[in-house]
Amino acid sequence: MQPPPASLPLLSATYLSHLLFFLSILWFFLLYLIQWRQTRNKHLPPGSMGWPYIGETLMLYSQNPDSFFSKRQKRYGDIFKTHILGCPCVMISSPEAAKAVLVSRAHLFKPTYPPSKEKLIGPEALFFQQGDYHSRLKKLVQDSFLPSALRGYVSEIEQIVLKLLPAWENETINTLQEMKKFAFDVAILSAFGAGWGVETERIKRLYHRLEKGYNSMPLNLPGTPFNKSMKARKLLNETLRRVIEKRRERKKQDGGLLGVLLGSKDHKLNHLTDSQVSDNIIGVIFAAHDTTASALTWILKYLHDNEELLEAVTKEQEGIRRGIIEENREMTWADTRSMLLTSRVIQETLRRASILSFTFREAVEDVEFGGYIIPKGWKVLPLFRSIHHCEDFFPDPEKFDPSRFEVPPRPNTYMPFGNGVHSCPGNELAKLEILVLLHHLTTTYRWKVVGEDDGIKYGPFPVPKGGLPVRVIPRNN
């Protein structure tokens, strides 16, 4: 038999690659045509949609997002359109427009997350809900983070701090990683309540496996990071069900968010199912720890770079320490309320670093907005960071200056915890844990940044590149 000519496979490979190229051009063209037909008679906001499908994604991810937003804001104004991550978007950077999307016309803009995130956290978690079910669930979650509930956590949080800090002494630590450990332990405490140690080590281990998938490709094939995370999510569910069952059997709900969810007396919510409960426990752990850890990392950086401010904060904390020692007692909620300068440092950090630079909503119908139409299905992004860095509201915005919070900011110009129905229920807990940690850190230690100041990494929260390695030394050495 004659062997086939050697050039044939070569020819068919060339032919195939040409065909693929042609089909992709056709595909992009069709997408462009569909997009154009859907919006041709609508008065859309100004802006560029970039390339078909790819849009301006590469531009956003290849540069500092601040300059991406500010260039467009200068060119097109406070409402402009763009196209990122396969979605047409409208970005808004005026306080009034952000308030309309998040508060006054919130029913027209639903929260939206990538489906993979929903699968990993659990579809029944608070973030993904809207309407009556959302407000009832939100009320429960808020109840468990009210100051009256948090008072009881002060000494528990203090114990976590006092266990963590000595391990840093005379060591070089990665600030972000250490702060994640701390915020994670506090999140677990707030989710399950004090003294509920059963299964928490297993829950921690499984959660760490789960979180590896948050920023991975959503490819659920054996061996992929996403697949491993989905497996961890399944095991986490089984573990949480055992914990829920035990608590239900005891007929005593105990503390934490879990206690509040299991003890719900809201007749419309009925008894929450196990999956409603576990999705919300995982949701809160997810929401609580990377955000707070980023904020703490930035605070250490700003205090390190502003020596005088660090000394002033230390003086405030030493005054409180003296009171605690004189009265021979533990730290209380009232102590944390008297940390006025330290609280302004937190406020200014949340403005300057803007931990959540923006959030996503989706128009549920064609919405007339500021003289334009936002078509149904388009994403809408209120740009918190741009508002926080606008010099009309915060003069000399790049300067770290806690004194600007001696007077309250103008309404709707300061939204580190969001605004409206989906605003953060954990803001008081976040501030509390930061205050307790800063109390002990500033009165006992000093820290020195190791290596070069490398700038910012956005992944997805802005953090100092490299996680801010610092050397921690006892203060009076």
Contact range with ligand HEM by CB under 6 A, out of 280-288, 305-313, 330-338, 451-459: 280-288
In angstroms, what is the C-alpha Rg of the chain? 25
Q: Give the one residue of 175, 292, 412, 444 binding ligand HEM; rule: CB under 6 A.
A: 292
Nearest-approach distance from CB 361 to ligand HEM, in angstroms: 7
Nearest-approach distance from CB 357 to ligand HEM, in angstroms: 10
Which candidate, 164, 241, 244, 148, places its Cα nearest to that of 196?
A: 244
Q: Confirm or reject binding of residue 422 to ligand HEM (CB under 6 A).
A: yes
CB 256 within 8 A of CB 193: yes
Tokens, residue 167: 């391990």
Q: Confirm or reject binding of residue 190 to ligand HEM (CB under 6 A).
A: yes
Q: Confirm or reject binding of residue 281 to ligand HEM (CB under 6 A).
A: no
Contact range with ligand HEM by CB under 6 A, out of 53-61, 286-294, 333-341, 450-458: 286-294
Omega of the bond leading into 460 within 30 degrees of 0 (cis): yes
Burial class (CB within 10 angstroms; exposed 0-12, middle 13-18, buried 19+) of 180: buried
Tokens, residue 51: 């390339």
Q: Confirm or reject binding of residue 272 to ligand HEM (CB under 6 A).
A: no
User: What secondary structure does DSSP assign to 135-160, as a single string?
Assistant: HHHHHHHHHHTSHHHHGGGHHHHHHH
Q: Give the one residue of 50, 418, 466, 469 binding ligand HEM; rule: CB under 6 A.
A: 418
Q: Confirm or reject binding of residue 196 to ligand HEM (CB under 6 A).
A: no
Question: x/- contact string, 322-351, with ligand HEM (CB under 6 A)?
Answer: ------------------------------
Nearest-approach distance from CB 292 to ligand HEM, in angstroms: 4
Q: Confirm or reject binding of residue 370 to ligand HEM (CB under 6 A).
A: no
List alpha helices for 165-306, DSSP H.
Answer: 175-192, 200-211, 225-250, 256-262, 274-305
Q: Give the one residue of 97, 244, 287, 383 binding ligand HEM; rule: CB under 6 A.
A: 287
Q: Determine the number of helices (DSSP H) and then strands (DSSP E) in the chain.
A: 18, 12
Q: Confirm or reject binding of residue 259 to ligand HEM (CB under 6 A).
A: no
Question: x/- contact string, 139-178, with ligand HEM (CB under 6 A)?
Answer: --x---x---------------------------------
Residues 6+ apart with CB under 8 A from 56: 48, 49, 50, 68, 82, 83, 84
Q: Confirm or reject binding of residue 417 to ligand HEM (CB under 6 A).
A: yes
In angstroms, the Cα distances linking 19 to 9, 26, 351 are: 15, 10, 52
424 is in an annotated binding site: yes
Determine phi and psi for 362, rounding to 5 degrees. -135, 135
Nearest-approach distance from CB 369 to ligand HEM, in angstroms: 18
Please give the residue ranges that form the binding site for ligand HEM (CB under 6 A).
111, 126-127, 138, 141, 145, 190, 283-284, 287-288, 291-292, 295, 355-356, 359, 416-418, 422-426, 429-430
The annotated binding site for heme is made up of 424
The annotated binding site is made up of 424
